[in-house]
Structure formats: structure tokens, C-alpha cells
């Protein structure tokens, strides 16, 4: 009876099988513990995150561009069609409007009603009244179309008369005298050759409240209603002068 010894090839094969099936050595990483190429991942390394951040930044920039454009468009529309601010550079409307005052003009007022006597308006300056780059003037409406405006002495003070009736002007300081020594340009001659103005149709006679120091309708004549920019309705600066007109 004989016993068979394993052949060298069988031993090699057995050893090879044992090596394949042997457990991994403690402390040696297996294939499941191997980190991916490039090192461990973090929040900033996730695929597509850079693209997402870039998209978000572009969206924010676009939103700001749209908001700014909308704000500018609204401001343009308001200035063009609704309200406009003006700075008072001279004392021709004192004491009602002082040098440095800022006012708001309503451009829609006369789309809804006629011009009223006593309104303070901003209008495009006639060519003869423009100076120092000033293209707009602010004055008070005194004579309406078809009216006869004259000045007469009343107790040593010259007052304004409309169609022969004295005009009450409570906005003027006491003792203010309004002189009219000729017929202004574009005016008709009052009856009897009296100095003053017969206001033509579609035109207005405007005067400054500072009658002794105002280059107004007595100098440049009447203005067209179409030249009106708007009606002054509020003083906005300085705050100590804030108030409706």
C-alpha cells in the first residue's frame, strides 16, 4: 500500500489558491477604502458646483441691471410727463420764493383745468429774457387772455387793475408798488392810450412778486400758454421753507 505525495505543480497551484483567498493583512487598505484620484472630495469640489455659482452671480447681476434700468426709466417718465424740480436763482419772486429755494412743478395741471390768475408757473423764457444759460423763468400769472391790465395810483402806491377793477394781491408785502409806464411787447393798447396791456388771445401777462426788481412781462411782453412747463405747487427745499403753494 503506497501513499501519494503532492506533485510540485499541485503545491504551486495550492499555494496560489491560498494567496488569492487569504484575508488582507491588518492595516492594509482594501480596494473599497481607496480614495478616488485627486484626493478627498469637499463641498467646493462637487461636480457642477462652479457652474452653479457662476450662474447665480450672473443672475444677480442681471437683476440689478434690470432694477437700475427700470428706476431710470421711471425717473425719466416722471420728469418728462409728471413733475420736475427747479432751482430759484434770483430774487424776482421774493418774498414768495427766495434765492436757493427748490420747487416742484406739476406738468399735468393745465391738462385738466385752465390757467388761473395768481398761479405761479415755470415757462420757457422768451428770447429777449434769456441770460446766463437760463432757459426757464418762474413768475405769477396776472393777466389772462382778453383782459386789460393797467396800473393806477392808489394812495401813493401803484396797484394793478384788471378791466378797471383793482386786483387784490395778498401775497405781496404791504406797500408794494407796481409801475407800468409803457405798452409791453405783444400787448394791445389799453383805451385812452393808458400804459398797460390788453392781453392777446392764447397769451398771458406774468409778473414777479418782487415788483421793484423783476424782469417780467412789463419788459418782455406776454407769453404763450403753450410755453408753460407747469405750475409750481410745492417748495421742497430748504426744509424750513417746505410747503404747498
- Enumerate the active-site residues: 92, 139
Q: Which of 137, 57, 49 is nearest to 90 (CA)?
A: 137
Lookup result for grid cell 424740480? 85
- Give the whole-angstrom CA distance, residue 219 versus residue 131: 14
Bond into 46 cis (ω within 30): no
Sign for the pseudo-dihedral over CA of 126, 127, 129, 131: positive
Q: Which of 94, 89, 129, 118 is nearest to 212 (CA)?
A: 94
Q: Which triple of cell numbers denotes residue 211?
A: 415788483
- Give the whole-angstrom CA distance, residue 204 versus residue 116: 10
Amino acid at each position: 500500500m503506497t501513499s501519494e505525495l503532492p506533485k510540485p505543480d499541485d503545491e504551486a497551484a495550492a499555494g496560489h489558491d491560498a494567496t488569492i483567498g487569504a484575508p488582507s493583512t491588518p492595516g492594509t487598505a482594501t480596494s473599497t477604502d481607496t480614495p478616488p484620484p485627486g484626493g478627498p472630495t469637499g463641498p467646493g469640489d462637487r461636480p457642477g458646483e462652479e457652474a452653479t455659482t457662476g450662474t447665480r452671480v450672473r443672475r444677480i447681476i442681471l437683476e440689478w441691471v434690470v432694477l437700475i434700468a427700470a428706476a431710470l426709466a421711471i425717473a425719466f417718465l416722471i420728469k418728462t410727463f409728471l413733475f420736475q424740480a427747479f432751482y430759484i436763482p434770483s430774487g424776482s419772486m421774493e418774498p414768495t420764493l427766495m434765492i436757493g429755494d427748490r420747487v416742484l412743478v406739476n406738468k399735468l395741471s393745465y391738462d385738466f383745468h385752465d390757467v388761473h390768475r395768481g398761479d405761479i408757473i415755470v415757462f420757457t423764457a422768451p428770447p429777449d429774457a434769456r441770460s446766463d444759460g437760463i432757459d426757464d423763468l418762474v413768475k405769477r400769472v396776472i393777466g389772462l387772455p382778453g383782459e386789460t391790465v393797467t396800473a393806477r395810483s392808489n394812495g401813493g402806491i401803484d396797484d394793478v387793475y384788471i378791466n378797471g377793477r383793482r386786483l387784490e394781491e395778498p401775497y405781496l408785502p404791504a406797500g408794494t408798488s407796481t409801475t407800468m409806464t409803457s405798452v409791453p411787447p405783444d400787448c394791445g393798447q389799453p383805451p385812452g392810450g393808458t400804459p398797460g396791456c390788453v392781453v392777446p388771445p392764447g397769451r398771458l401777462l406774468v409778473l414777479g412778486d418782487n415788483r421793484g426788481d423783476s424782469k417780467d412781462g412789463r419788459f418782455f411782453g406776454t407769453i404763450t400758454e403753450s410755453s408753460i412747463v407747469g405750475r409750481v405747487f410745492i417748495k421742497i427745499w430748504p426744509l424750513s421753507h417746505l410747503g404747498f403753494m
